[in-house]
């Protein structure tokens, strides 16, 4: 794995706009990615996720603005354009069906200067060792996706671009896939992942980039997105049986109370109200058995930014 300075930007996009005829698919995008990060692109269909990946891969050129990958323009850098420093798994994987899995991977290995030993290792790693001699035409969609991941991993790439990578994989294989990506990151790889599966990527990303109609409406860690969204924090309060209604009334009308049952209730507050509320709960004594703080989930944050004003 290529070793780079952890503080350096391996990808930089500055005021990037991409148009096809009269259609603007990306507008004024600014993004810096540091070595070792896992950046997840999320957004609706047509938001510009794949277009952004193609710009970083050098497959297309921006209509305006600057794209730099490993310090170079990917559209003109031979090393980047030939994929010598990166791996790419497109959303729709298509291989020549008459070839075996081993033959397909060997073909891509020759393009990247890898050897047959690495091919065998990767086929085993993605769970295709026993199917290596079978023709790709007999592979299921999930098997083709895993073969696509194996070709993306050839040559220990410094950058991985993965477009909807878990499409067609069952839950166990999805978990295995992300374990493979985690292993590559520990070796220093940088990942750019486009995904609709918010629950899968919530705990794995360094940062999230939320796109809406070609515009970056939010970018940051989960904590930073919480701060940007200013959504309420929810708490679940567990109390002595039969005391929930009485305890809830002690909070007054300024606190939003919901889901009252025999021994618990929920309340919500803004971030700056959290600590005073926690102190008040602590003052209630032994009647309170437990307090669970539930910050907004990624899908809630996503919904907030999708329905909000990009400005």
> Residue 114: pLDDT band by 50, 70, 90 thresholds?
confident
CA 231 to chain centre: 21
Find where tokens 């294989």 sit. 173
Is pLDDT above 60 for 310? no
Q: Are 186 and 34 in contact (CB under 8 A)?
A: no
Distance, first Cα to last Cα, the chain: 39
Residue indicated by tokens 């978990």: 175
Residue 80, CB-side half-sphere exposure with 13 Å CA sphere: 22
Is the per-residue pLDDT at 275 higher than 80? Answer: yes
Give me 250's structure tokens.
């002690």
User: What are 250-269's pLDDT values in tens digits?
Assistant: 988 778 899 999 999 999 88
Instruction: Give this prediction's pTM.
Output: 0.82
Beta bridge partners of 38: 191
User: 226 CB contacts (<8 Å, ≥6 apart)?
Assistant: 271, 295, 296, 301
pLDDT band at 181 (very low <50, low <70, confident <90, very high): confident
The residue extents of the domains of the chain are 9-85+157-227, 232-295
What is the per-residue pLDDT for 115?
87
CATH 2.40.320.10 fits 232-295, yes or no: no
Please list the residues that pair with 9 across neighbouring strands: 34
User: Are the beta carbons of 151 and 173 closer than 8 angstroms?
Assistant: no
Residue-level pLDDT at 259: 93
Q: What is the CATH code of the structural domain delimited by 9-85+157-227?
A: 3.40.50.300
pLDDT at 287 over 50: yes
What pLDDT, on a 0 to 100 scale, did the predictor assign at position 183? 82
Alpha-carbon dihedral sign for residues 230, 232, 235, 236: negative
Exposure b/e, 118-147, CB count within 10 A at least 16 = b? bbeebbebbbbeebbeebbeebeebbbbbb
Within the chain, residue ranges assigned H as helices are 49-57, 78-81, 101-112, 116-125, 141-153, 171-186, 198-201, 222-229, 244-249, 274-282, 298-307
Q: What is the pLDDT of residues 49-101, one digit of tens each?
A: 999 999 999 889 999 999 999 888 888 765 565 556 788 998 888 899 999 99
């Amino acid at each position: 794995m290529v070793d780079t300075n952890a503080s350096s930007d391996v990808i930089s996009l500055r005021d990037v706009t991409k148009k096809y005829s009269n259609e603007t698919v990306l507008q004024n995008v600014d993004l810096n990615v540091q070595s070792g990060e896992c950046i997840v692109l999320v957004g609706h269909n047509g938001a510009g996720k794949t277009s952004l990946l193609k710009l970083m891969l050098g497959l297309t050129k921006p209509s305006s603005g600057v794209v730099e990958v490993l310090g170079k323009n990917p559209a003109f850098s031979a090393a980047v354009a030939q994929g010598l420093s990166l791996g790419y798994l497109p959303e729709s994987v298509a291989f020549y069906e008459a070839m075996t899995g081993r033959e397909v991977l060997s073909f891509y290995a020759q393009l990247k200067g890898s050897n047959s030993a690495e091919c065998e290792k990767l086929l085993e790693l993605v769970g295709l060792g026993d199917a290596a001699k079978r023709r790709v035409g007999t592979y299921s969609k999930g098997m083709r996706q895993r073969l696509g991941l194996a070709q993306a991993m050839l040559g220990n790439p410094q950058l991985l671009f993965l477009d909807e990578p878990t499409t067609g994989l069952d839950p166990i294989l999805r978990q295995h896939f992300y374990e493979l990506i985690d292993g590559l990151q520990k070796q220093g790889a940088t990942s750019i992942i486009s995904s609709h599966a918010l629950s899968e990527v919530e705990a794995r990303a360094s940062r999230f980039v939320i796109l809406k109609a070609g515009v970056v409406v939010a970018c940051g860690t989960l904590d930073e997105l919480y701060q940007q969204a200013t959504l309420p924090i929810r708490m679940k309060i567990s109390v002595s049986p039969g005391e929930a209604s009485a305890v809830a009334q002690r909070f007054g009308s300024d606190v939003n109370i919901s889901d009252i049952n025999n021994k618990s209730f929920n309340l919500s507050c803004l971030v700056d109200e959290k600590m005073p509320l926690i102190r008040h709960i602590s003052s209630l004594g032994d009647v309170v058995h437990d307090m669970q703080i539930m910050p907004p989930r990624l899908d809630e944050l996503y919904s907030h930014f999708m329905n909000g004003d990009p400005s």
